[in-house]
Structure 1
Amino acid sequence: MDRVTAAAVFNRICELGSLSAAARALGMSRPMVSRYLEEMENWAGARLIHRSSRRLTITPAGEKILQKTAQLARLSEEINDHASHKAIAGTLRIACAHFTATQIVGPVIPGFLARYPDLRIEMEINNQPVSLISERIDVAIRITDAPEPAAIARHLGDCVSVVCASPGWLQRHGEPRTVAELAQHNCLCYSRFAGQLWHFEDEQSEKLSVAVSGNYSAGISSLLCEAAMADAGIAMVPEIEARAGLQSGRLVQILPRYAPRRLGIYGLYMSREHTPAALKLLLDEVKAALVADAQKQSGATG
């Protein structure tokens, strides 16, 4: 296994105090984080962390090794920075769905290309997952709760959804007060998901689901949002998509005490070796934009 990565994983475990938290931060599975920790301990020839059911405790040997791995991380970062500042050129091929392209990736592209004018970006817009290898895709940006296991998945942020309808629809049909009542309404559905189940979590973190149906489905969330604003029914769409309608009053959020299940936003690519230098830089840019937007919305609603 890669010892530099093992050192980086060990640093993150010590920083966050949890293998699960380190796995989420690094975009790895928890078993993979455990394997890197074992590799680090084998390399050091000592137990570095005491594991218990309640918490992790760094050992005296781990404290000494942490000083060394922190130095290694800084050196690795300096080397990466040096490589990154070489001419960023060539072509970067990105695959994503329509919503991801227009609302998440597209807004960062002009500024990114302004900084790296020798780079060319090709966006492949497809609402169905594409093969990264056969389509020669460098990175796919996807919204999912199950990243494909064959790819490296870097977590960039979360997609927050809202359930909404127009004031006119609610005036004529009434507003559902519980998740179960959604089954009695015309729901506008995203056509990629068969057997339309909408998933929620209440204020006590209890998970709830309801089977919904309606007379209109589409593979593009902006169409569902437009239909909802035109009094066609109730839609569950990404909050970013519904934001303008909610702010203008053309849409009303329904069931605010029940949070629709969040999906992760991931950058997927096939190999850590010989990846285009622009790939990491672009994913950093997308992640920073998502973090900034989440902080802005948190401040606006806080």
Structure 2
Amino acid sequence: MDRIIAADVFIKIVEQKSLAGAARALDMSRSMVTRYLNQMEKWANTQLLHRSTRKITLTSEGEKVLNHSRELIAIAQNISAPIESNNRLNGQIRLSCSPFLAHDVLPNMLQQFLHAHPEVSIDVQISNHVTNLVEERIDLAIRITNDLDPNIIARPLGKCHSVLCASPEYLEKNSKPITTDDLSRHNCLNYSRFEKSMWHFSHPENPVSVAIAGNFSANDSSLLLKAALNNQGITLQPKFAAQKYINNGKLIHLLPHLKPQTLSIYGIYRSRKHQSLALRSFIDSLVTYFDKIDT
């Protein structure tokens, strides 16, 4: 399927005479169009286009690849293989998400979706890194961020709320913070992919940003949660992950009058127009799921 999409992108670049025009025609980000073109040239092992500030022209090899691409699209359009039979979806969905989402949030939803659609398979790739959807053959990447690249195609799925917490044992030895200023005297366990050494809180009057410091940081929130449970310090955690430990007394919710900055959850994909019915249904199910659960 990736080669069919890449062929379609290549044809659109030639027809529109620009990468930007192809992106508009396909409802795809320009960066994604560039990745598909690069992938086509990698497969062909040669340059396919001459690019200048004024125009795009085909190389001699590009002419051959264009003809092959049109043949490929024609074959794909004539294949009589229904994606959906008796309202049953099929095919594979290759999903990328963070360890927190994979372990704490999505397991029930994934099993419910697979139970409802037994002819669909899901391959989960767990990663905190920015994913190259084309090279890694990812259909959907779920990311938690307030700093989304405006050039990518994404759909809002939900919100991620956070809580500040620490173990009773840690607080017994180090005292309980009453104000945000008190955090400077504590060992704060920081998520290292956030803004360096800053925690942000909303407030009815003014938002508050607090400089924090500590002896342990990680780019995996579950590792920071385990550190807090082991009495190592104060952590800012997704509410969905920490709430059960707050409920059973293993963690204490700190500064509850302040609301940590809410993050957005996005589903990132290559194109709106080149989605299987299974992927579309899966994304719709994610929106419904995140709307129901308290994240």
TM-score, normalising length: structure 1: 0.67
Stretches of structure 1 lacking an aligned partner (at least 5 in a row): 1-81, 298-302
Compared with structure 1, are the counterparts of its residues 229 and 93 closer, same or farther at alpha carbon in structure 2 (3 Å cutoff)? same
Paired residues for 1:226-241 under 5 Å: 226-241=226-241
One-letter code aligned to 1:121: I
Which one-letter code corresponds to 1:228 in the other structure? A
Letter in 1 for 2:259: A
Q: 2: distance between equivalents of 1:293 and 1:252? A: 22
Aligned to 1:5: none
Q: Distance in 2 between matches of 1:119 and 1:175?
A: 49
Aligned residue for 2:106, secondary structure, equals helix
Q: Check whether the contact 1:84–1:277 (CA below 8 A) recurs between aligned residues.
A: no
> Which residue of 2 is the match for residue 155 of structure 1?
156
Check the 8 A contact 1:162/1:237 in 2, yes or no: yes
Match of 2:120 in 1: 119
Report Cα offsets for 1:2-56 as digits up to 9, x if no partner.
Answer: xxxxxxxxxxxxxxxxxxxxxxxxxxxxxxxxxxxxxxxxxxxxxxxxxxxxxxx
Equivalent residue runs for 1:36-51 within 5 Å: none
In structure 1, distance between residues paired with 2:158 and 2:106: 12
Structure 2 partner of 1:100: 101
Aligned twin of 1:284: 284
Per the alignment, residue 246 of structure 1 pairs with 246
Q: Any residues of structure 2 matched to 1:59-138 within 5 Å, and which?
A: 86-138=87-139
Indicate whether 1:190 and 2:191 are aligned. Answer: yes
Deviation at 1:86, TM superposition (A): 4.4
Give the Cα separation in 2 of the matches to 1:141 and 1:85.
29
Change (3 A) 1:238 1:256: same
Would the aligned equivalents of 1:203 and 1:257 in 2 still touch at CA under 8 Å? no
Q: CA deviation at 1:164?
A: 0.3
Distance 1:216 1:84, change over 3 A: farther
SS of equivalent residue, structure 1 residue 286 = helix
Please state whether the residue corresponding to 1:210 is helix, strand or coil.
Answer: strand
CA RMSD of aligned residues (A): 1.9
| Contact 1:93/1:123 (<8 A) preserved | yes
Once superposed, which parts of structure 1, at least 4 consecutive aligned residues long, lie more than 3 Å away? 82-87
Contact preservation (8 Å) 1:154, 1:267:
yes
* Offset of residue 280 of structure 1: 2.0
- The CA deviation at 1:148 is 2.1
- Separation (CA, whole Å) in 1 of partners of 2:281 and 2:149: 22
Identity %: 39
Q: CA deviation at 1:251?
A: 0.4
- 2:210 equivalent in structure 1: 210
Aligned equivalents of 2:85 and 2:236: distance in 1? 40
Q: Supply the distance in 2 between the matched residues of 1:115 and 1:149 (Cα, whole angstroms).
A: 34
- Tell which structure's C-alpha radius of gyration is larger: 2
Aligned AA (1:264) = S
Secondary structure, aligned partner of 2:130: coil
* Pair 1:85–1:99, CA change in 2 (3 A): farther
Superimposed CA distance per residue, residues 131-182 of structure 1 (whole angstroms, 9 cap, x where no aligned partner)? 1122111111110002222222211110000000011111111111111221
The alignment covers a number of residue pairs equal to: 213
Partner Cα separation in structure 1 for residue 182 and residue 138 of structure 2: 43
Asked if 1:169 corresponds to 2:170, the answer is yes
Q: Secondary structure at the match of 2:287?
A: helix
The 8 Å contact of residues 96 and 124 in structure 2, kept in 1 or not, is answered as yes
CA drift at 1:193: 2.8
CA distance in 1, matches of 2:273, 2:219: 34
Q: 1:282 & 1:262 partners in 2: Cα distance? A: 24
- 1:165 and 1:252 in contact (8 A); partners too: yes
Higher helix share: 1
Distance, in Å, in 2 between the alignment partners of 1:85 and 1:181 is 61
The aligned counterpart of 2:275 is 275
Equivalent residue for 1:263? 263
Give structure 2 stretches of 5+ with no counterpart.
Answer: 1-82
User: 1:104 & 1:243 partners in 2: Cα distance?
Assistant: 13
The amino acid of 2:202's aligned partner reads E
